Amino acid sequence: MNIRAMIVDDEPLAREKLRRYLADEKDVEVIGECSNGREAVAAIRRRQADVVFLDIQMPELDGFGVVEASDPAHLPFIVFVTAHDAYAVKAFEVHALDYLLKPFDRERLHDTLARVRKSMQRSSSDRYQDQILSLLKDLRADRKRPDRLLIRSAGRIFFLDVEEIDWVEAEGNYLSLHAGEATHLVRETMSSMEERLGPSGFVRIHRSTIVNLNRLKELRPWFEGESIAILKGGKKLPVGKSYRRKLASLTSRLS
């Protein structure tokens, strides 16, 4: 069984070293290299690699961001590469995911590839997807609140400042992020978006709506005991009964 490998690292010397080591493995073919996270997202989307050696510490879009921006259901096997990141290494071990700790030697890479070969033979894609999602959930809980979200739209990959978002609403299997005059469609669940945005001052007011508290102008009673949230731009959004009490307790934070 031949293994098609991809190398992702922003350091040319690191890519060259890994490429030399992989050349010693008769069943491994390096089919491509990426020097940044955005290139990696696009390359992974093409689904040509069996395994990706993914550096974590990259500027702008790090290794975790690459995984978050990719479809977990179609991810190749990921070998995370990290330099002295004790927390990340512990997380990989807990979730039984492969990693290389820099600086590594040929023997360490050989051992990792042996585990990759076994995993490719015996692991189901569903099990691997669960491992990746669990890892991201744990890492996300430990990281600081996001300043920006990575958005994939119409073939583009760009960043959206969290503070620019006015509200989020569900549309089938997608979410619409409303930011001023712009609307961005992303494939994510309301629960995961609520978890990501919560520390940044966002609150869920309905099963299908999340609002930026800084955009909230007032709460107003509506027909038959219902209520609505009115944003500073005039947008009116219904408030679900189960979310009303929590929202009311947060109104003191409004300017």
Residues 43 and 165 in one domain: no
Same domain? For 138 and 154 the reply is no
Q: What is the mean pLDDT of the chain?
A: 82
What is the Cα–Cα distance from 35 to 44, expressed in whole angstroms?
A: 13
Tens digit of each residue's pLDDT (9 = 90 or more) over 199-238: 778 888 998 999 998 898 888 887 766 788 999 989 999 9
Distance (Å, whole) CA 138 – CA 6: 26
Residue with token string 């760009």: 158
Cis geometry, peptide bond prior to residue 76 (ω within 30 degrees of 0): no
Which of 109, 142, 175 is the last residue before a domain boundary?
142
pLDDT at 34 over 90: yes
**Predicted confidence (pLDDT) at residue 40 exceeds the cutoff of 50:** yes
What's the whole-number mean pLDDT along residues 162-184? Answer: 91
| SS3 call for 107 | helix
Domain end (from 115, 142, 169): 142
Are 54 and 79 spatial neighbours (Cβ–Cβ below 8 Å)?
A: yes
Q: How many CB atoms lie within 10 A of CB 135?
A: 21
| Neighbour count for residue 88 (Cβ, 10 Å) | 21
pLDDT at residue 47 greater than cutoff 70: yes
For the chain, give the percent of residues with pLDDT over 90.
26
Give the angle 6-137-166 at the CA atoms, nearest 5°: 100
Count of the separate structural domains present in the chain: 2
Give the integer Cα–Cα distance in Å for 219 and 205: 11
Instruction: Name the token pair of 85.
Output: 């990141």
What would the pLDDT profile of 78-89 be if each residue is shown by its tens digit?
898 887 666 566
What CATH number does the domain containing 238 carry? 2.40.50.1020
Cα–Cα distance, 178 to 31 (Å, whole number): 39
Name the pTM for this structure.
0.56
The CATH number of the domain where 113 resides is what? 3.40.50.2300
- Clarify whether residues 11 and 95 are in a common domain: yes
Asked if residue 127 and residue 89 are part of one domain, the reply reads yes
User: What range does the domain containing 168 cover?
Assistant: 148-253
Same domain? 158 vs 187: yes
Task: Let me know whether 79 and 182 are in one domain.
Answer: no
Domain termination site, one of 142, 172, 196: 142
CB distance 93 to 134 below 8 Å: no
Q: What are phi and psi of 153, to 5 degrees?
A: -150, 125
CB–CB of 175/169 below 8 Å? yes
Question: Is residue 255's pLDDT more than 50?
Answer: no
What is the pLDDT at residue 251? Answer: 57
Q: CA torsion sign, 235 to 200 to 92 to 38?
A: positive
